[in-house]
Amino acid sequence: MAQTRRLAAILAADVAGYSRLMGADEEGTHERLRRHLRDLVDPKIKEHRGRIVKNTGDGLLAEFSSVVDAVRSAVEMQRAMADRNAETVEDKRITFRIGINLGDVIAEEDDIYGDGVNVAARLEALAEPGGICISRVVRDQIRDKLPYPFEDKGEQSVKNIARSVRVFTLRPEAVAELPATSVSGFVSQRPRIAPMIVAVGAIALAIAAVAWWVWPATRSPQYPPASVSSAAENVRPTPSTPPKASPVIPQQQSALWDAVIAGNVAEAIVSIRAGADVNALDTRANIAGPNGRRPLNYAAIRNDTAMIRALLDAGANINEANRTGFTPLHHAGEAGSKEAATLLITNGASLTLRNKYGQTPEQVAVASHHPEVAEILRQATTGSK
């Protein structure tokens, strides 16, 4: 087949510590990996219109025509793997590292080549187990389309690539905070016994009914069968409870959240003037995650100082937290948003409020490996005493 060139989003994944896992339990590791690929990874890639180019033994290479689809697929895979691994002892867990790049590739029937593929493989090697690394070009494409809190890790020199690569990472802790996802079209193999039980029960019931009516001689007349009506009288009717309808979110409120995520200050102001609550918690789980985010939280994560100023001017509560107690300053520390942290501190953000895990903003920054933001918070805390 002749070679062709095309632009593609390339996803490279491998299993962290694969050699150790195979050395400890070769057959068990192979079976667990095979099951994860069959039940989760392959369906997720297909669900988001991707194509698995090849399996590499301890990982895979896939391509997508859309970089948004590639990132969404990777995030949903890692989120689902976090749930699966929670039920597995630590030394037997299969944990993926994923790298994603957008670039020109040389395509053949069974493989793809080129710098675009090489960069994706290098990004995968930089990712934490359970995390995702993307290149700057990928980040630029998804920034206003997906809400995931990727952190800027700066320019990185990678093996066999002449130029440095600007790297953004989604850490495992951030993945765990995202809403759980299902796998489209996947049906577990184990529940198949349930239809068999139902079928056997139905057959037994039918046999019993037939036996009852063809066995009149043995029925005692002093114990007549209860009538249908008398049986029904002994059963208390169960009132039907209509399902609760999901609360309707005003259009201007959704418009405000979307404008803040996109970094569009003008649209945010228009939405606020139209009646949107500047402190409202975004409860759209597919966007804000299970813990929700307020407009100021989103702006802090994006390090969007212009948006922070606009929201504060509109009356945003600088210390309002989400469901896990993360204030905007906590989120600035988690995302490594130096300018946002400085601006929030200047405007009176609390340095001592603790989230549900007992962490101050400084402790969150330290745990998220953002020493510069942690130092800003430390100095501000020391200076305020």
What integer is the mean pLDDT of 146-174? Answer: 88
The predicted pLDDT at position 287 comes to 81
Lowest mean pLDDT across 20-34, 101-115, 234-248, 290-304: 234-248
pLDDT digits (tens, 9 = 90+) for 9-48: 999 999 999 989 998 999 999 999 999 999 999 999 999 9
What is the spatial distance between Cα 194 and Cα 221, in angstroms, rounded to a whole number?
39
* φ, ψ at 63 (rounded to 5°): -130, 150
Lowest mean pLDDT across 200-209, 221-230, 341-350: 221-230
Q: What is the CATH architecture assignment of 4-176?
A: 2-Layer Sandwich (3.30)
Specify which residues 63 forms β-bridges with: 10, 51
Sign of the torsion angle spanned by Cα atoms 370, 372, 376, 382? positive
pLDDT digits (tens, 9 = 90+) for 73-102: 999 999 999 999 988 898 899 999 999 999
What is the spatial distance between Cα 271 and Cα 329, in angstroms, rounded to a whole number?
24
Domain ranges in the chain are 4-176, 251-384
Residue with more model confidence, 366 or 201: 366
Q: For residue 227, give both structure tokens.
A: 């009538």
- pTM, 2 dp: 0.51
The predicted pLDDT at position 243 comes to 47
The predicted pLDDT at position 183 comes to 62
What integer is the mean pLDDT of 342-368? Answer: 93
DSSP code string of 92-107:
G---EEEEEEEEEEEE
Q: Looking at beta carbons, which pairs linking 370-374 to residues 24 or more positions away fall under 8 Å?
A: 370/151, 370/333, 370/334, 370/335, 370/336, 372/336, 372/338, 373/332, 373/333, 373/336, 373/337, 373/338, 373/341, 374/333
What integer is the mean pLDDT of 230-248? Answer: 44
The predicted pLDDT at position 161 comes to 79
* Burial 144-180, CB ≥16 within 10 A → b, else e: eebbbbbbbeeeeebeeeeeebbbbbbbbebbebbee
Q: What is the CATH architecture assignment of 251-384?
A: Alpha Horseshoe (1.25)
CB 275 within 8 A of CB 304: no
Lowest mean pLDDT across 57-71, 222-236, 351-365: 222-236
Residue with more model confidence, 53 or 2: 53
Kind of pairing, strands 96-107 and 4-15?
Answer: antiparallel
pLDDT digits (tens, 9 = 90+) for 297-347: 999 999 999 999 999 999 999 999 999 999 999 999 998 999 999 999 999
| Residue tagged 């700057």 (tokens) | 136
What is the spatial distance between Cα 97 and Cα 83, in angstroms, rounded to a whole number?
16
**Inter-helix orientation angle 338-346/305-313, to 10°:** 30
What percent of the chain stands above pLDDT 70?
A: 82
- Write the burial class of residue 17 (CB in 10 Å: 0-12 exposed, 13-18 middle, 19+ buried): middle
Q: How far is CA 43 from CA 50, 72, 101, 170, 309, in A?
A: 10, 13, 21, 22, 43
DSSP code string of 218-254:
GS-TTSPPPPHHHHHHTS------PPPPPPPPPHHHH
What is the spatial distance between Cα 265 and Cα 270, in angstroms, rounded to a whole number?
9
What is the spatial distance between Cα 245 and Cα 167, in angstroms, rounded to a whole number?
42
Helix ranges restricted to H, the chain: 18-24, 26-36, 42-47, 67-86, 115-126, 136-142, 172-176, 193-213, 228-233, 251-262, 265-273, 285-288, 295-301, 305-313, 328-335, 338-346, 361-367, 371-384
What is the spatial distance between Cα 304 and Cα 314, in angstroms, rounded to a whole number?
16
* Average confidence score pLDDT of the chain: 83
